[in-house]
Amino acid sequence: MIAEERRARIVDTVNTYGAVSVTDLMESLDASESTVRRDLSVLHKAGLLKRVHGGATRLSSFEFVISDQTIEQRLTIHLPEKRAIGAYAAGLIGPDDFVFVDGGSTADCLVDAITETHATYFTNSMPLAQKLHAKGCRVFMPGGEVSPLSEVLVGTETVDRIRRCHFTIGFWGTNGADPDNGFTTQGYGEAAVKQVSMRQTLRPYVITDSSKFKQLSLITFADFSDATIITDRVEQPGYREAGDIVEVMTQTTLA
């Protein structure tokens, strides 16, 4: 098989399945590892696919998230995964921690799982502040403008208050997560709050179910390596190698 034909088949395979490993290509093309890797490099430089660790993915493999849902709507999606993520994250909080809690449906599951009432909590989410207060926790909130759908506080006043804080641990939601594009959200207001609060945190965690690995939103608020990711499982090639990821629903953890 000539190189042009082989590379055309590689591009077709990647576009059909979304991702393919070097091993699979070696078998389907009856080609050596060095040949396949060389072909992937050529195709990556030509902009026909994206080369990742162990294989390749197609370029348009993301679902773009343009509009947001209410908290109530999001709480009905991937709920078992979010509860498992929230329970694991809650177990990381100690009595002496100053904890930042971002808004969102996974953060809602985190707050439900919190048993450490001696820690001090700071959140820009109005619903989560009420939940933490009901648990008997000490809770701080910034000022700012209420974002209608997410019910979090945003704006200059919010950012200025957060910038004066130094959190020992924090948890953030995200609309999308990808090694190249980082963590993404939809509005500049929420992105600014997430960015500043993460910079002010000693141990930052992004809590997200694995469906967000297939999504890309409008604004990047942090790089993929800026926080430890707590998720249910990772199936996308190249993700484990690109960041610090904790999987809470793998076969090992479920056994």
The domain limits of the chain are 3-61, 71-254
Position 72 scores a pLDDT of 66
Check residues 46 and 94 and name the one with the higher pLDDT: 94
CB atoms within 10 A of CB 252: 7
CATH class label, 3-61: mainly alpha
Contact 215, 62 (CB under 8 A): yes
Considering only 23-32, 191-200, 221-230, which range has the smallest mean pLDDT? 23-32
Residue 239 predicted with pLDDT over 70: yes
Q: What angle do CA 79, 213, 123 make, to 5 degrees?
A: 60
Write the class of the CATH domain 71-254: alpha beta
* Gap between the Cα atoms of 150 and 174, Å rounded: 12
Query: What's the pLDDT at 61?
Result: 56
**pLDDT of 67 above 80:** no
* pLDDT confidence bin for 63, thresholds 50/70/90: low
The confidence band for 50, taking pLDDT boundaries of 50, 70 and 90, is confident
> Which of 18-22, 42-46, 62-66, 131-135 holds the top average pLDDT?
131-135
Say what percent of the chain tops pLDDT 90.
65
Given pLDDT bands bounded at 50, 70 and 90, which one contains residue 205?
very high
Structure tokens at 24: 């699979």
